Structure 1
Amino acid sequence: MSIDFEALRPTDKWMIIDCVQSAGIDIAAWSFRKTDGRPVALPQSNGGYCYEWSYRSADRSTLLLCVWWERLHVDSQGRVCFSENLKAYADTLIQQLEKDYKNRNRTIKDSRINRAQHFNATIELAYMSSTPVRVVIVSGPVREKEDEGKERDRATGRQLDDQPWFVESFDDYTGAFVLVRGNRNPLSNATEATGVEEVSVQLETDVVSHTPVVDQFATNERPDTYIYNGVQRYRDSNVRRRVLARSGGACELTEVPGFPMSNGGIYLETHHIIPLSEGGLDTVENVIALTADAHRQTHFGVGRDELRVRCLEIVAARSPREFKNWN
């Protein structure tokens, strides 16, 4: 279906709070500061919310993303798409911070990291649950490097799109995704182009080639930082994905397959063998993929000390060549 791409450029500049409310997300929390719960004079200017890049309703049934009109494109099928990688963006920022001598104690924060990680998690949630996404289209100049850390509204236009979008693809290892405007309806689109028989073959191929392995944090919030010996440390969001890919969908301790989810994924749980609270590292060498039952045993089982040793041995024996779906 052809579309007037220029017509998507925002002609008005809505306040982001109005976009969020119009999408069906409760904005009551905007009336209070995130840090101490004190009331704010202007909810629409609440810095704890108005600069975010993604929003979710309390039950996560409504997902809202902010995308730049200047970074949209039309694909070969005439669809409007937004192709990005917010995970890689966040990882790059973390690496830059860690290389900075001033940040040797990992105490300097960059709000863009949390926003990019939240955006990436929202994309992943939409993809895993096949939930349509609402989109705020923002127009304006691309931020210059020296201005990146400034909290200011640089948008020249902002509007809530009246059409739903869907996440057509998401790479749970790299973070690359494609967001497409319109309802997901692969059967009707493919039938018109190729015929019913070819559609059936394509769907079967997709099921075989992409069976995502997810853990307990796929749809639940998890702090992006933790404290050890009084020092704040960042979690590496890539560790979980690498470990789950390494598992191949089976518990690395018991070799029992993870259970199939209603959305077609495989469920396992990621576990820090030596807890972060005990100085364990947030690395693939210290994280193992387990079934829910095995995970509980490592925490509460009678032989949990022996299980810790066994988990370390198993992970140490895994060669990088055994890691599946890394590339």
Structure 2
Amino acid sequence: MTILDEIEPIRRQRVYDLVHAAGVDVSHWDVSKGNSSSAASNPKYCFDWSFVGESAVVLNLWHDGMEEREGIVRYALNPRQTAEKATGRRLLRARQMEAAIQTAMRARLPIRAIVNAGNRKNASNRTTSVKRRLLDPVAWRVESYDDETGHCTLVRSQGRPTFIDQFTAREIGTESPDKKTVTTEVTARCPQVRQQVLTRANGYCEYCREPGFTTGDGKIFLETHHVIPLAESGPDTPHNVVALCPNHHREAHHGAMRDAIRQQLLAHLQTFA
């Protein structure tokens, strides 16, 4: 499977949720039609091509415009050239996108890509229609930028992000934690199994396919879960362990649909058998 295959969107996720997952403040979206429930459809923001936060710049990129060579993915664009041929909101969005790219370079901010799939506006399509989206778990950066022409090439960072789970977080802990004596019996979990499962999930919940959240130090957090519990003699192997978002991990343990979730996760694991 190529990198482009891995990051091809398969679901239509909301821009609001993906921008928020990338670490950009979206609280100002709530000022829309008088209530926060319509924030995600706020036309002042949801159709923008770029978003700038304190720790990252988010850009909307088209999957069919990405090029992969020798394991490196690049994306060429020229918002300035687009602005020269545009009017109205399209003109403003193109200018904002170029400014966002310049901000990423000046402030050395990572670029988070919302990967879009659908119909782009061109000679045969009069309007743009995004059918599917995802937030790439790997950061991008500006590889080249021409001040005179505005031509820019973005490159997807090489290497994989660092994935952690709830047990990793305990391992890294604090240098001087409070100590107390506890007598109990627990089953050890193999760290290699957990890491293999996190790598397989590639930053996405294996139940709902939503991305895990990014921690303050840039790691991607999901929780590892034994589908057949260790207490029920379930094996501690990658064929019985999945990576879940915290919400669905709790639901898999305590929810009314936990039996159905277990069956769905078992069916998912069968695809790797």
Q: What TM bracket, shorter-length normalisation?
A: 0.5 to 0.7
Paired residues for 1:115-126 under 5 Å: 115-126=93-104
Structure 1 residue 159 displacement after superposition: 0.5
The answer as to 2:2 corresponding to 1:24 is: no
Write out aligned runs for 1:310-321 (5 A): none
Match of 1:177 among 144, 152, 156: 152
Distance 1:147 1:45, change over 3 A: farther
Aligned residue for 2:67?
A: 73
CA distance in 1 between partners of 2:133 and 2:101 (Å): 20
Aligned match for 2:91, one of 70, 91, 113: 113
SS in 2 for 1:13: coil
- List alignment gaps of at least 5 residues for structure 2: 160-273
Report the Cα distance in structure 1 between the residues aligned to 2:101 and 2:44, rounded to whole angstroms: 21
CA positional deviation for 1:145: 4.8
- Partner residue in 2 for 1:96: none
Q: Report whether the alignment pairs 1:12 with 2:5.
A: no
What secondary structure is seen at the aligned counterpart in 2 of 1:121? helix
Alignment of 1:1-327 (within 5 A): 3-33=2-32, 38-39=34-35, 41-57=37-53, 59=54, 61-75=55-69, 77-93=70-86, 110-145=88-123, 148=126, 154-182=129-157
- Provide the C-alpha distance between the structure 1 equivalents of 2:4 and 2:122, rounded to a whole number of angstroms: 25
The one-letter amino acid of 2:62's match is W
Verify the 8 A CA contact 2:3 2:71 in the aligned structure 1: no
AA of the residue aligned to 2:43: G
C-alpha deviation, 1:26, in angstroms = 1.3
Residue in 1 aligned with 2:221? none
**How many Å separate the matches in 2 of 1:80 and 1:139?**
16
> Do 1:127 and 1:170's aligned partners in 2 also have CA atoms closer than 8 Å?
no
Inter-partner Cα distance in structure 2 for 1:176 and 1:88: 8
1:97 equivalent in structure 2 = none
Alignment-mate amino acid for residue 16 of structure 1: V
Amino acid at match of 2:88: D
Question: Deviation of residue 41 (structure 1)?
Answer: 4.9
Equivalent residue, structure 2, for 1:213? none
Name stretches of at least 5 consecutive residues in structure 1 with no aligned partner: 94-108, 185-327
Deviations 1:198-238 (A, max 9, x none): xxxxxxxxxxxxxxxxxxxxxxxxxxxxxxxxxxxxxxxxx
Q: Alpha carbons of 1:40 and 1:22: their partners in 2 closer, same or farther (altered >3 Å)? A: closer
In structure 2, what is the Cα distance between the partners aligned to 1:142 and 1:179? 19
Q: How many matched pairs?
A: 159
Q: CA deviation at 1:110?
A: 1.1
DSSP 3-state at the match of 2:13: coil
User: What TM-score, normalized by structure 2, do the two folds share?
Assistant: 0.53
Question: Cα offset for 1:144?
Answer: 4.2
Contact 1:82 1:178 in 2 (8 A): yes
